[in-house]
A and B are shown apart, each in its own frame.
Chain A
């Protein structure tokens, strides 16, 4: 018997009892819809994190001053142990290090131009910051070595700052006040958008590291050192080397905690993906429960259907249907219910995602993986739910069925 014909017959059988078919689909619809939402949001969040980790640099690690640094959380500058000399020693002594860029980051630094004011994320760094972070000056120029050695009061500012302080006018050559100190704007940073931790990357202002240390904060230490590696495959070994070097330089006794934190791209990724995991867990539960309930409902209604259609089974057997033909017929029906429910569920889920992202900031992306996964689950549920009723139908004694 050809599958097309069997498919048609299954559709006819399902159309014959629409409310029952609807009931059978309901659990699958709910299960698949939630599953679609979960996978889309998880994958969406992951894709976003991956993109940002990509920016973080797969061949880079970050060394922060102080222990227990969390991604996206800026610490105060009170840990004084990480220094420029540490950065230079790392670059000189560890073979796998290609480049280091020591820096001080500070959030919510008051900035002013005329009567316009704002708060900036102040980044004090050397000229190579630009290549390590792959962020160039879109207009004007970047900080130069000369700026660093002269402790020049020059600044490269982000687009948000251009908006806030200059209302979008060209700021290059203008003066701004950072922490009440006058700086000359020499360039504008490329647009970068928002980081995974929610930081506005265009709200940054870059000044020379030396200027930041001596003129703005009056300190000798650093906030962090970004380290670019020659061979990212040897990342673990290099992390170990950096830790050993810093512990030695900081004279940390064995058994005592580090006074620095090393963050690798994988760590950055896991930190960022912990967001909203309890919500995901809730949805996973809803989805699993609905799919299981859906399977039970399908199985039970199928059993009722098999009993009601004894005569049909008997007739089909009498005219030559093999057991396998009956089995396949009922399996196709349960599969169709499940796949139909799956398709409706995917559409509902995608609409639900749209709805959710309307009410809250929801990382989601229209991707094929959630759809494939959801439909796969639906097919699995259909097969599992249908197999027992279908076997019952196939195993029925044709004589008894015809009585």
Chain B
């Protein structure tokens, strides 16, 4: 699914190079549920954004679903994000003036299939347990509910892979648990998931943990018995 070789990201600031990622080699197979862990500022988000085709690396190669990403122009990257990738962010990133279902339809707006949008959005919201919040505005929803709207949005175009950058970071533990339960469910249905987290307890619910330090991967281990989420 994902194959990364000697990937690097370097920022040049005031004539000084800031190396955020260096020589990252990584392979993630279809259907895996991977956690990326590292202390703050270690480049987790940067890596996730590159894998999500939102950011471009300064070096190395990246193959997504058998297609080389370096060769893609901006429109192709956009199309890839639209069709193959779903994003979930720490701060939800919903559009405040749009109702829940309208937020969910956003990826549909930018794809060719924008018929029955409300129906599809309703089904996606149902899937995350928000079938009764379709007409609500983000500010009328709790944080956990907002994050579930964001997950529904990530799912609407039926992407192969979902990238989540600290999706439970802004949530209380009950809401966080609910979000993780949804992720586990998606994983069970065969979706590939890459999750950035600070929290070991969260990481242990996935089946593989990658640890980063100083721009490189320092540990990559399989979780023998991923924790089941209990309600």
| Chain A contacts to B: CB under 8 angstroms | 1-2, 5, 12-13, 16, 311-312, 314-325, 398-399, 402
Contact = CB atoms under 8 A, between A and B. Distances in A.
A311 B97 CA distance: 13
16 contacts: A1-B110, A311-B93, A312-B95, A315-B94, A315-B95, A316-B106, A317-B78, A318-B52, A318-B54, A318-B87, A319-B107, A320-B81, A320-B82, A320-B111, A323-B75, A402-B54
A170 to B, nearest CB: 77
A315 B106 contact: yes
B54 A317 contact: yes
B74 A322 contact: yes
A65 to B, nearest CB: 77
Contacts of A324: 75
Contacts of A316: 106, 110
Nearest to A321: B110
B62 interface: no
Contact of B89 (A5, A16, A402): A402
Contacts, number: 64
In the A-B complex, list the 9 residue pairs whose CB atoms are closest, starting with the nearest.
Answer: A320-B82, A320-B110, A319-B107, A322-B78, A399-B55, A320-B81, A315-B93, A321-B110, A318-B87
B137 to A, nearest CB: 12
A342 B74 CA distance: 36
Given A5-B114, A319-B82, A320-B78, A314 B55 contact: no
B79 interface: yes
Interface of B: 49, 52, 54-55, 74-75, 78-79, 81-83, 87, 89, 93-95, 97-98, 106-107, 109-111, 114, 153, 157
A1 B89 contact: no
Contacts of A399: 49, 54-55
Contacts of A319: 81-82, 87, 106-107, 110, 153
A337 to B, nearest CB: 17
Nearest to A1: B109
B110 A314 contact: no
B107 A320 contact: yes
Given A399-B55, A402-B89, A321 B78 contact: yes
Given A315-B95, A315-B106, A398-B54, A2 B114 contact: yes
Contacts of B79: 320, 322
A318 B97 contact: no
Contacts of B78: 317, 320-323
Contacts of B109: 1, 5, 321
Looking at B75, B78, B97, B111, the one whose CB has the most chain A CB atoms below 10 A away is B78
A324 B73 CA distance: 13
B74 A323 contact: yes
A12 B97 contact: yes
B112 to A, nearest CB: 9
B100 to A, nearest CB: 15
Nearest to B52: A318
Contacts of A311: 93
Nearest to A400: B55
Looking at A2, A311, A314, the one whose CB has the most chain B CB atoms below 10 A away is A311
Contacts of A318: 52, 54, 81, 87, 93
Contacts of A398: 54-55
B84 to A, nearest CB: 10
Contacts of A322: 74-75, 78-79, 110
Nearest to B107: A319
Given A1-B114, A2-B114, 16 more contacts: A5-B109, A13-B97, A315-B94, A316-B106, A317-B78, A318-B54, A318-B81, A319-B82, A319-B87, A319-B153, A320-B78, A320-B81, A320-B110, A321-B110, A323-B75, A325-B110
B150 to A, nearest CB: 9
Nearest to B49: A399
B214 to A, nearest CB: 21
B161 to A, nearest CB: 14
A77 to B, nearest CB: 80
A315 B96 CA distance: 12
Contacts of A323: 74-75, 78
A175 B78 CA distance: 95
A62 to B, nearest CB: 69
A212 to B, nearest CB: 82
A305 to B, nearest CB: 13
A151 to B, nearest CB: 90
Contacts of B111: 320
Nearest to B157: A320
B72 to A, nearest CB: 12
A320 B89 contact: no
A321 B153 CA distance: 14
A323 B81 CA distance: 13
A2 B97 CA distance: 20
Contacts of B110: 1, 316, 319-322, 325
A5 B54 CA distance: 25
A1 B111 CA distance: 7
B165 to A, nearest CB: 9
Nearest to A318: B87
B130 to A, nearest CB: 18
B97 A16 contact: yes
